[in-house]
Amino acid sequence: MSAAISSRNFWYTGLMTQPGSLARNERGELCLGGVPLRNLAETYGTPTYVYDVDAMVREARALREAFGEHPHAIAYAVKANSAGPIVRALHAEGCGADVVSGGELRLALRCGVSPDDIVMSGVGKTDDEIDFALTRGTHGILAVQAESREELARIAARAHALGRVGRVSLRVNPGLDDIDTHAHIQTGHDEAKFGIAKDEVLDCVRELPPSLELQGLGGHVGSQFTTTGDYLRAAAVLFELARGASALRPLRFVDTGGGFGIDYGSGCPASPADFVRETLALLRSSGLGALALHVEPGRSLVGAHGVVLAKVIQQKRVAHRSWLMIDAGMNDLVRPALYQARHRIVPLTLTEGLGAKASVRVVGPVCESSDDFGTHELPLSPPPDAVAILDAGAYGYTMASEYNGRGLAAEVFLQGGAVVAHKARPSADAWAEERAAVGR
Ligand code: LLP
């Protein structure tokens, strides 16, 4: 068997074990949601994000089923991927929205999410954002989640000035120091800027001004948890406080946040449904079985079901290292540069003509050393002409920039095995004209 064919088998089986709908067809073409990605790269150019919206909806359904009959809400964290087709499809599957800015709040409303299903977090809400949230619908949004005592007082003052009763929840910082995820995405320790210190929460409940109505207590202690341990430790602190709070005022829900991890290639033993089932069990054993449980997942709904398509621009060899320059960079997908995150990279098509697999450093075209997607095993001499960067559905496009004069990537949305929507990448001319026109 030739090296090329054994490589092909390796990647074929590797991909077929993926939970999503990523697979190769008999021509060796990588397909997402049944659509060959090569065709999309040709039609829409590169770099292009492609999303399997049906698979995202299936994630939401599986999560909903994990709640059984227990009253619950799934507030999709729009920051993970704020594209209209995705927010609308998840809303149609019963998800509300977790938003962190006036922009995200307006987006959720425009996608049809009811104010009653929207919670607003965010450590730095402006008065305008608070006013807008408090005045949507009849009672304002489901909850403006206060991140500090001081902010709670400001929300109360805004509600009073508007002649409204503001619906609020309190974001609890449980003060857990040894949470097992990347330091940049931990949010529940004493050094984090997020939330109200756990020792102050019950005072806030006791002293709640009359212009506010407490809905619940919430917490979000980090992202990309691959096991349930730390999530449950944080939930235990939250539930203890919820017991105390509900002795003082009626509570409608507890919200244990997002954070359910996905498998970026090194495993993720706990599924989102495991997180929900174990959290529900803890809720019941804490004597709070009558309270609704809310969660705010982002990544786990969308992350595994998006890829970035990129063309190979140049293969280069310096000393003993092989490099593969692709036309997607850190401006398109910043996670590797920002968190040393690893995203698998695979050829778009496995053909007989490809060289044997070798270790190669895959890098983008941006003028920064951190524009580096890491070392991958890929065919070389010749290399593939195009690749897919996997698991890019969450925190990909939403964190992209135009650095180095690179317009934001195209986006393609798949449903029912077909393209249902797309957003083009601006041409270099269009990008240059827009910047040059400033102040002209
Ligand atoms: N709720 C709140 C209040 C949050 O701050 C976040 C995420 C979520 C929910 C959703 O968390 P998820 O289920 O997606 O883990 N850019 C980083 C992740 C930052 C997460 C920020 N907050 C990354 O690319 O890994």
Ligand 1 mean position, distance from CA 258 (Å) = 7
Best residue among 184, 185, 223 to mutate for probing ligand 1, ranked by most atoms within 8 Å of CB: 223
Among candidate residues 296, 330, 362, the one where a domain is terminated: 296
Task: Report pLDDT for 17.
Answer: 42
- Establish whether residue 335 lines the binding site of ligand 1, counting it when its CB lies within 6 angstroms of any ligand atom: yes
Tell me if 171 CB under 6 Å of ligand 1.
no
* Of 28, 35, 26, 107, residue with least CA distance to 413: 35
Predicted pLDDT of residue 188: 65
Q: Both 80 and 173 in a single domain?
A: yes
* CA 101 to ligand 1 centroid distance, Å: 14
Establish whether residue 280 lines the binding site of ligand 1, counting it when its CB lies within 6 angstroms of any ligand atom: no
- The whole-number pLDDT of residue 192 equals 73
- What residues in the chain have per-residue pLDDT under 50? 1-10, 12-19
Select from 296, 316, 342 the last residue of a domain. Answer: 296
Asked whether 29 lines ligand 1 (CB < 6 A), one says no
Q: Which of 241, 268, 296 delimits the end of a domain?
A: 296
Output the domain CATH number for residue 373.
2.40.37.10
Residue range 418-434, pLDDT digits in tens: 999 999 999 999 999 99
Residue 72's CB is within 10 A of a number of other CB atoms, namely 18
Residue 187 falls within a domain, yes or no? yes
Domain of residue 186, CATH code: 3.20.20.10
| Residue with CA closest to ligand 1 atom 6 | 258
Q: Is residue 311 part of a domain?
A: yes
Centroid of ligand 1 to alpha carbon of 224 (angstroms):
8
What is the atom index within ligand 1 of the atom nearest the CA of 341? 25
Entry pTM: 0.95
The type of residue at 355 is: G
3-state secondary structure the chain: CCHHHHHHHHHHHHHHCCCCCEEECCCCEEEECCEEHHHHHHHHCCCEEEEEHHHHHHHHHHHHHHCCCCCEEEEEEHHHCCCHHHHHHHHHCCCEEEECCHHHHHHHHHCCCCHHHEEECCCCCCHHHHHHHHCCCCCCCCEEEECCHHHHHHHHHHHHHHCCCEEEEEEEECCCCCCCCCHHHECCCCCCCCCEEHHHHHHHHHCCCCCEEEEEEECCCECCECCCHHHHHHHHHHHHHHHHHHHHCCCCEEECCCCECCCCCCCCCCCHHHHHHHHHHHHHHCCCCCCEEEECCCHHHHHHHEEEEEEEEEEEEECCEEEEEECCCCCCCCHHHHHCCCCCEEECECCCCCCCEEEEEEECCCCCCCCEEEEEEEECCCCCCEEEECCCCCCCHHHCCCCCCCCCCEEEEEECCEEEEEECCCCHHHHHHHHHCCCC
How far does residue 410's CA lie from ligand 1's centre (Å)?
Answer: 23
Model pLDDT, residue 403: 98
Residue 129 sits in the same domain as residue 254: yes
| 124 and 272 assigned to the same domain | yes
State whether the beta carbon of 49 lies less than 6 angstroms from ligand 1: no
Identity of residue 14? G
Is 395 touching ligand 1 by the criterion CB < 6 Å?
yes
Q: Please report whether residue 60 resides in a domain.
A: no
The predicted pLDDT at position 180 comes to 67
List active site positions: 367
